Amino acid sequence: MKGRPLRYTPRRDAGLHAYERVLEHAGFSPVAGVDEAGRGACAGPLVVGAVILAGGKRGRIEGLTDSKLLTPARREELYAEITERALAWSVIVIPCHDIDRIGVHRCNITGMRRALAALERRPAYVLSDGFPVPGVGVPSLAVIKGDQVAACVAAASIVAKVTRDRIMVALHDRYPQYGFDEHKGYVTRDHSAALAEHGPCPEHRFSYVNVGRALRKNGEVMAIGEDAGEDLLGEIPGDGRTEEGAPA
């Protein structure tokens, strides 16, 4: 289900919590926001976060915005505050081999459904960033630049981004030649140079053109032990609400 409640429209100057307030007045509460991190990377997992912020003053977290607009230190601070004060939150981690198998968009949609289903509270309405998420079982709305205009979506983007960044920093310890701790698996000049020199590792997305090109040039995959990335989530600091698994 999707759609905007009739007769209720957030004002442009009403602040980051306007969507949640309008939906609550229309009888839709609580409201969940969902967003992903890592869609454009060529290495590492896709991570999806879902957050339901508490109502009233408890739900007012200063500084929420698109995670990409924040410094790493500020993201970590907000992550701690969100996960402590949110009514509910969840994270789904989708490994790179599933992205290769069924495609990043399908992984994204399925991951968003799973993140919403994993919430401890069932939302009455879902806000997503940019594109609709069918099959969530409640009314939903895709919001352009949702992580900059809706508090719950901004919170979800921060939870997803911080979780993924921690994973990529841990991957750097296993594959230091790629610089995952710096570029987090996105295409940069240094990352492209490392791919050209060493070829891809098991954490690269082989369905991506630049990774396939590096594989053809080098003819091998850089590996450190068997199933190098399978147990990585157990090494990531967190409180147990991070889940790894293939899309259903």
C-alpha distances (whole Å) from 207 to each of 96, 98, 104 are 10, 10, 10
Q: Is the pLDDT of residue 228 over 80?
A: no
* Residue percentage of the chain with pLDDT more than 70: 82
- Residue 200: pLDDT band with limits 50, 70, 90: very high
Q: Which is higher by pLDDT, 47 or 221?
A: 47
pLDDT score, position 117: 96
pLDDT score, position 243: 44
Beta bridge partners of 127: 33, 141
pLDDT score, position 42: 97
Q: Is the pLDDT of residue 222 over 70?
A: no
Tens-digit pLDDT profile for residues 12-41: 545 788 889 889 889 999 999 999 999 999
- Residue 60: pLDDT band with limits 50, 70, 90: confident
3-state secondary structure 93-161: EECHHHHHHHCHHHHHHHHHHHHHHCCCCCCCEEEEECCCCCCCCCCEEEECCHHHHCHHHHHHHHHHH
pLDDT score, position 163: 98
Question: Cβ distance 27 to 20 under 8 Å?
Answer: no
Residue with tokens 């396939």: 212
Q: Is the pLDDT of residue 230 over 60?
A: no
Contacts of 156 (CB under 8 A, 6+ apart): 32, 33, 34, 35, 49, 50, 51, 89, 129, 147
What pTM was computed for the model? 0.85
Q: Is 56 exposed, middle or buried (0-12, 13-18, 19+ CB in 10 A)?
A: exposed
Q: Is the pLDDT of residue 235 over 90?
A: no
CA pair distance 60, 24, nearest whole angstrom = 15
* Residue percentage of the chain with pLDDT more than 90: 67
Tens-digit pLDDT profile for residues 105-152: 999 999 999 999 999 999 999 999 988 999 999 999 999 988 899 999
pLDDT score, position 17: 86
CA pair distance 144, 240, nearest whole angstrom = 31
Q: Which is higher by pLDDT, 248 or 188?
A: 188
The torsion angles phi and psi of 36, rounded to 5 degrees, stand at -125, 165
Which of 126, 135, 142, 151 lies closest to 62 in space, CA to CA?
151
